[in-house]
Amino acid sequence: MSDAAEVLPAWSRITRWLEKHAPGDHAALRPGASAAALTALEAGLGFPPHPALRALLAACDGVVPRRASDEAGAFLIGYSLLDTEKVLEWQRHLATRAEDAVEEGYEDEVGRTAHARWVPFAQALTGDLLFVDHREGGYGTVCELSFGDPDHRRPWPGLGAMLGDLAGAMEEETPLLAVGRRPAVHEGRMLEWPTV
Closest to 122 measured CA to CA, from 184, 92, 77, 176: 77
Q: Could you report the per-residue pLDDT of 71-130, keeping only the tens digit for each?
A: 999 999 999 999 999 999 999 999 999 999 999 998 888 888 899 999 999 999 988 999
| Three-state secondary-structure class, residue 55 | helix
> Do 158 and 52 contact (CB within 8 A), yes or no?
yes
Span 66-74, mean pLDDT? 92
The per-residue pLDDT for 1 is: 63
Higher model confidence: residue 113 or residue 167? 167
Does this model's pTM top 0.85? My answer is: yes
